[in-house]
A and B are shown apart, each in its own frame.
Chain A
Amino acid sequence: MKPLSLLLAAVFALPAAADTLQLKDGRFVDAAKIVEADGGYKVIYSAGEVFVKKDLVVLAQLSDSSGNYVPKNDEEKAKVEKGLVPYEGKWMSKADRDKAVAKKADEAKKAMDEARKHQEWRDRYITETAHFRFEYTIPQAKCKEYQELMETYFSEFTRKWGIKPDPKAPKLPVCFYHDEDAYYQVSGAPYGAIGYFRFVAPIELNFYYDRNDERLTLDVMFHETNHYLTHLLNPTFDEPAWVIESLAEYYGASTWDAKTKKMTVGNIQEGRLVVLQDAMAGDEWQGLEDMIKMPEFSALQYAWGWSFVHMLMESKKYSAPFQKFYVALSTDKNVKRVPYQGDMLQCEPDEVIKWLKQYLGVKDMKALEKEWHDYVKTLKLQSHRGYEDAAQWAERWGLRIKAGRYYKTAVEKGTQNPLTYDDYGQWLLRDGQNDEAVKMLEKACELDPLNAYFYLHLGAAWEEKGEKDKGEKLKKLALEMEPNDPMLAFQVNGFKIRKK
């Protein structure tokens, strides 16, 4: 279940003097009252409180953080009697404290206004690095990580693949949005295209920050940036779908160590591997020549294509010749290219197969196909993310027991994705494991305290445990957090309809 726009709902219900938090992922929380608490902040709703851990918060603007201090011992009592009050570890007069509080509140408001302003595309941040022009609405600190990463990617890829970029070429605009909604609205991308590289003028890159799954953000960035980097080989050449998308997927699985500034390639695209395991379970194998001849790729072919390029790139025998083949397709004068659209050129599939066989030293494509299929059988899921995808797949196919095992494995492997805890919590609830379900759903709320659906599900779990009042209260809290979400309202009210 996807959370709907929290910001929008919150703004709609915003009273005149609201308190606000901005989270590190860029979201704002507006409420009539937010108070500082041990280790975080309590957002006060009429149906209950939502606790937001301090390490999720980047800015806090609270209407009154001073309050009346209650002395803890005689020494403090004496100071209070003298008219002093504590403030940030020091004792001072009330007037000085009020002044300091007012100053801090003023600074917090300015910072909050500034941060909120930059989420509007018209007031986006613009920062230029050596090769890119970043236009973005995410917090600056987060974007800085991506700026360093993309520059490293640019340098490593152009060096490894022998690309010599034109030093006079304009920097590539990189449009980076703070969430999915903003991305779809401003970029105009069709639903389902979670990032794109526009390869005709004006060229640009568009993608968004996914707060629940930053790995997905990295994946999309590595994938789409790869399209730009290979585009530099020959901007007027339209590479075949199986080559361009599969290599982008290969690079999409790269990882980045922000401390050592090191990028690692060749990892398993676990989401794609789950798709392949499904196809293999149905005994549906992709033919190699058929794939090479396809003008467009669907999700299934993305998976097959990735696995083929993964085999080639990770093989000592094929890696170097495959890279040479890739570059030759765009640049070698001996490769026959035919007009495509406008001034663009492309290669006919038979020409592609001819050169692939020549570079790889392969005579029989069927033998290469068998080698590839055997290779795919050896690939295994590794991380929590792979098990998350596999659990979702198992649920779709009604493999209840398997889905539960996969969710459990994802949790054991240390996932920090709140949606996984929510899904697993609901699975446990259906399985009658109510105590464990409550634990998982509470963890989901802890990781993302602003997702109203998590409180709805937690409420249902408490009801199943026999605590009806507690459950009802949590459901009311969910409705108060998202007053304009019909699906949420339906699920809360819908339970009533079904109960006779």
Chain B
Amino acid sequence: MTALRRAFAVLPVLALGAQLSVFAQGLHVDKGNGFQFQPPKGWTQVPIQVEEKWIATKWLSDRKYDDKESGFTHQPLMRVIVFDKASVNPGGGETDSAGGKKEEGGAKPGDEIDLSRPYLDYKDYLKRNYHDGGFYVSAEKEIKIGETPVTMLEVKIEKLVQTGKKRIFCWVFKAEWGDLAIECEVLEQSVEKLQATVINAFKTFKLITRDPNAKKTDVGGGPKLKVVDPNETPEQQKKRRMEMEDVMFKKAIADLPKDWTTKRTPHFLVLNHAGAKYQEKVIAHAEAVRNWLDREFGDIGPGYVQGCIIRICKDRDEERAFSRGSGDSWSSDSRELVTSESKDGLNEYEFQYLGRGLMNMFFHDKNDELYGALPTWLESGLREYIGTAVLKGGQLNFVPDMSEKETAREGWQKNKYKPVRSLFEMTSKDMFGGEDGRYIYGQCTSVVRYLMGPGKANKKHAALIKDYLKYLLEVVAENDKAARAAVPKGEAKTEEEEEEEFRKRRKQDWSAKEKEFLQQVQKKTFGSWTDADWAILHAAWEKFAK
């Protein structure tokens, strides 16, 4: 008997209500999406992503199962996915933001052109979201539960699956307004053990009347073209970002499962499911990094730095389950960092991730033009410098981690480092194109460590990074002005002319342009420097680094 038939065979029990005693915890009721069900005993509710539009709820098993063939473990996750027929019209419809016809006035600031492709049904969803191996629908049966038509599906994941063959059980309930799919993925080797638990939970699934007042806010995730006013003032930008921050924060809080806590800090909304002590450690670190960024780089631009959500999962498994969202559950307006309390002694990396993420968002919001133009040496150097900072006694200590120290030791032994002057002119291709990429990467961090640390005591090196950023922005502005003023060359008239132009362009690839840009900034920043000045900088860095 196939699993599907077995599941079907026990259905009459449902009518007797005999299964309810199996479940000790409460019913999960979703009035907005119009369903309720009883999750398996001991399973934990996992929050859904703020931008999520399809997954209504997720529940993570309390147990992990081993796959003897692959050596991996697997923790089953039960999800309810909703497919409302009234999903958005692809392309954004016929009207603009003011309700007028698009062709009459063109797109206006505030208009959004929706490029998302709504999921048609569960199979379509799976096809565009399942990436852990090749799969196919192995069994399919139409039944009725009460008056509700239900499609029972089994999906086998068999080819090119690294983490063990799996099976997805899914029942799709057909409501008048759309489909609701309840699904759970289990290891093929665990089907016998888990099938009854999964199917018993499915059997409790019931459609209820939807309450339009309980419907969750749509924060507008997915691919979109947004028309932003090119003349937007910093005040208008701040207002726009603050509104988005408010929407995101409210939605994140509304979606939280019961046993999560929320806390507002000066710069963050912290959503926590880990220990209280760990939460405080994360908050202290994040606030310290953010304050440091404000202090050191607060003057790089006029942008308002949007408030960020820090979500702390109780462990890595919960973090993974949280991250398993729909392909379009992202937004350029989102500012969220997800971390977890690790039990494997790797929390150090969680703090590194936090620091790097905060720097990324800070620079992006403060001055996106500047951030986009940062050369590799400075961007990667700063990222690692901030990422590896450790909070001790309320102060950030900027010290290299073990891996950086080890790379540095090898780098000196093998004589892999470049003169600092050359490093500043290296394109990303120059840095990472060869076999010495990791050493050069380490050198970038080390040079930034010197300039942000002991270099501040040297009169000529103290403001080097600040000056560099100032001149870099000047070069960006000059190049932009020159590009606008340039008279466009007429189109080639013959294939020969076209070919000649092409050959010139072919040699002027992105790397060549990047080199030219770096040389322009170098000239502007260090124009008055002599060879001796460069030698002093290199020697000072070398002394510090060794």
Residues of A at the B interface (CB closer than 8 Å) are 8, 12, 120-122, 175, 181, 185-189, 198, 206, 281-283, 397-402, 405, 484-490, 492-494, 496-500
Interface flag for B491 (CB, 8 Å) = yes
Q: Is the CB of A397 within 8 A of B90?
A: no
- What is the CB-to-nearest-CB distance from B70 to chain A, in angstroms, rounded to a whole number? 13
A489 to B120 Cα, complex, angstroms: 16
- Interchain nearest-CB distance for A186 vs B (Å): 5
Interface presence of B159 (CB below 8 A):
yes
* A189 CB contacts on chain B under 8 angstroms: 134, 160
Q: Is the CB of B138 within 8 A of A122?
A: yes
Give the docked Cα–Cα distance between A185 and B138 (Å). Answer: 13
| B492 / chain A contacts, CB cutoff of 8 Å | 400-401
Contact A188 B161 (CB under 8 A): yes
Task: Give the distance to chain A from B162, nearest Cβ to Cβ, in Å.
Answer: 10
- B118 in contact (CB, < 8 A): yes
Q: Does A400 contact B491, Cβ atoms closer than 8 Å?
A: yes
Asked if B498 CB lies within 8 Å of chain A CBs, one says yes
Partner of B89, one of A12, A188, A198, A489: A489
Q: Return chain B residues, CB-CB under 8 Å to A486.
A: 90-91, 114-117
The answer to whether B103 and A499 have CB atoms under 8 Å apart is yes
Residue B264 lies at the interface, judged by CB distance under 8 Å to chain A? no
Q: In whole angstroms, what is the CA distance A198 to B93 when docked?
A: 46
Q: Are B136 and A120 in contact, CB atoms less than 8 angstroms apart? A: yes
Measured CB to CB, the nearest residue on chain A to B105 is: A500
Q: Taking each of A198, A400, A489, A492, which has the highest tally of chain B beta carbons within 10 Å of its own beta carbon?
A: A489
A83 to B491, CA, bound (A): 72
Q: How far is the CA of A283 from the CA of B509 in the complex (A)?
A: 13
Residue of B nearest to A402 (CB): B495
- Report whether B137 and A122 are in contact in the complex, using a CB–CB cutoff of 8 Å: yes
Contacts of A484 in B (CB 8 A): 90, 117-118, 120
- Let me know if B90 and A489 touch, CB within 8 A: yes
Residues in B137-195 with C-beta less than 8 Å from chain A? 137-139, 157, 159-161
Partner of A489, one of B91, B107, B121, B507: B91
**Which parts of B75-106 form the interface with A (CB within 8 Å)?**
89-94, 101-103, 105-106
Q: Chain B residues near A497 (CB, 8 Å)? A: 102-103, 106-107, 113
Q: 10 A–B contact pairs at CB < 8 A?
A: A185-B136, A188-B159, A188-B161, A189-B134, A399-B502, A484-B120, A490-B92, A493-B91, A493-B92, A496-B102
Q: B120: which of A8, A187, A206, A397 is its contact (CB, 8 Å)?
A: A8
Q: What separation, in Å, do the CA atoms of A415 and B185 have in the docked complex?
A: 47
Residue of A whose beta carbon sits closest to that of B107: A497
- Interface residue tally for chain B (C-beta within 8 Å): 44
Docked Cα-Cα span, A206 to B160, in Å, equals 11
Query: Given A485-B90, A490-B115, A500-B105, 6 more contacts at CB 8 Å?
Result: A122-B136, A186-B134, A281-B502, A484-B90, A497-B107, A499-B106
Q: Does B505 make an interface contact (CB < 8 A)?
A: yes
CB of B499 within 8 Å of the partner chain: yes
B499/A402 in contact, CB under 8 A: yes
Cβ–Cβ contact A186 & B159, under 8 A: yes
Bound-state CA distance A32–B275 (Å) is 60
Cβ-defined partner of A8 (8 Å) among B114, B124, B157:
B124
Chain B residues lying within 8 Å of A490, measured Cβ to Cβ, are 90-92, 113, 115
B133 at the interface (CB under 8 A from A): yes
**Minimum C-beta distance from B442 to chain A (A):** 24
Residue B503 lies at the interface, judged by CB distance under 8 Å to chain A: yes
A494 to chain B, nearest CB (A): 7
Chain A residue with minimal CB distance to B492? A401
Q: In the complex, which residues of chain B have a beta carbon less than 8 angstroms from the beta carbon of A500? A: 103, 105-106
Q: How far is the CA of A499 from the CA of B134 in the complex (A)?
A: 44
- Interchain nearest-CB distance for A138 vs B (Å): 15
Q: Which residue of B lies closest to A401 (CB)?
A: B495
Across-interface contacts of B159 in A (CB, < 8 A): 175, 186-188, 206
What's the minimum C-beta distance from A3 to chain B, rounded to whole angstroms? 14
Tell whether, in the assembled complex, residue A121 and residue B120 are in contact, meaning their CB atoms are under 8 Å apart.
no
Question: 8 Å CB contacts to A: which residues of B489-506?
Answer: 491-492, 494-495, 498-499, 502-503, 505-506
Rounded to whole angstroms, the CA-CA distance of A377 and B95 in the bound complex is 56
- Prevailing SS type, chain A contact patch: helix
B135 at the interface (CB under 8 A from A): yes
Contact between chains at A281 and B498 (CB < 8 Å): no
Closest to A124 in B: B136
Contact of B495 among A8, A198, A398, A405 (CB under 8 A): A405
Taken together as a complex, chains A and B put the C-alpha atoms of A498 and B113 apart, in Å, by 12
Whether B127 sits at the interface, judged by CB under 8 Å, is yes
Cβ contacts under 8 Å, B103 to chain A: 496-497, 499-500
> Which residue of chain B has the shortest Cβ distance to A4 in the bound complex?
B117
A175 to B157, CA, bound (A): 15
CA distance A87 to B128 in the complex (A): 47
**Residue of B106, B127, B159, B498 with highest tally of chain A CB at under 10 A:** B159
Q: A188 to B135, Cβ gap below 8 A?
A: yes
| Complex partner residue of B102 from A122, A198, A281, A493, CB under 8 angstroms | A493
| A487 and B115 contacting across the interface, CB-CB below 8 Å | yes
How distant is B322 from chain A, measured CB to nearest CB, in Å? Answer: 24
Bound CA–CA A486/B106 (angstroms)? 19
* B450-468, CB < 8 A from A: none
B93 partner residues in chain A, CB cutoff 8 A: 493
Neighbouring A residues of B491 by C-beta, 8 Å: 400
CB < 8 Å neighbour of B498 from A185, A400, A499: A400
- A121 — which chain B residues lie within 8 A by C-beta? 136-137
A154–B77 CA distance with the chains assembled, in angstroms: 46
Cβ distance B518 to chain A, nearest Cβ, rounded Å: 22
Q: For the complex, give the distance between the alpha carbons of A484 and B90 in Å.
A: 7
A189 to B115, CA, bound (A): 26
> Is the pair B134, A187 in contact by a Cβ cutoff of 8 Å?
yes
CB distance from B506 to the nearest CB of A (A): 4
> Contact between B503 and A281 (Cβ–Cβ < 8 Å)?
yes
Question: In the complex, what residues of B have CB within 8 A of residue A493's CB?
Answer: 91-94, 102, 113
The 6 lowest CB-CB distance pairs between A and B, nearest first, are: A188-B134, A489-B91, A188-B160, A121-B136, A486-B90, A489-B90
| Nearest CB of A to B487, in Å | 18
Residue of A nearest to B225 (CB): A490
> Nearest Cβ distance between residue B163 and chain A, in whole angstroms?
12
Contact present for B91 and A492 (CB under 8 Å)? yes
Nearest CB on B from A132, distance (A): 17
Distance, CA A314 to CA B507, complexed state (A) = 33
| Assembly CA distance A120 to B138 (angstroms) | 9
If A188-B135, A402-B498, A493-B102 touch, whether A282 touches B120 (CB-CB below 8 Å) is: no
> A494 touching B113 by the CB < 8 A rule?
yes
| A489: B residues at CB distance < 8 A | 89-91
Least CB distance, B375 to chain A, in whole angstroms? 25
Chain B residue numbers with a CB within 8 Å of A485 are 90, 117
A401 to chain B, nearest CB (A): 5
Give the CA-CA distance A485 to B506 in the complex, in Å. 35
Q: Which residues of A contact B137 (CB under 8 A)?
A: 120-122
Chain A residue contacts of B115, Cβ below 8 A: 486-487, 490
Tell me the minimal C-beta distance from B539 to chain A in angstroms. 37
Q: How far is the CA of A358 from the CA of B317 in the complex (A)?
A: 56
Which of these, B127, B133, B499, B507, contacts A399 with CB under 8 Å? B499
Question: Which chain B residue shows the least CB distance to A490?
Answer: B91
Question: Distance (Å) between the CB of B366 and the closest chain A CB?
Answer: 32
Measured between beta carbons, the chain B residues less than 8 angstroms from A496 are 94, 101-103
Query: Chain B residues near A401 (CB, 8 Å)?
Result: 492, 494-495, 498
Across the interface, name the chain B residue whose C-beta is closest to A193: B160
List chain B residues, Cβ under 8 A from A175: 159
Q: Which chain A residues border B105 with CB–CB below 8 Å? A: 500
Looking at A198, A281, A402, A496, the one whose CB has the most chain B CB atoms below 10 A away is A496
Within the assembled complex, what's the spacing in Å between the Cα atoms of A308 and B118? 47
Q: Which residues of B contact A198 (CB under 8 A)?
A: 160
Question: Within the assembled complex, what's the spacing in Å between the Cα atoms of A359 and B502?
Answer: 42
Nearest residue (CB) in A for B162 is A188
Known: A486-B114, A486-B115, A500-B106. A397 touches B133 (CB 8 A): no
Closest to A187 in B: B134
Complex Cα gap A486–B112 (Å): 14
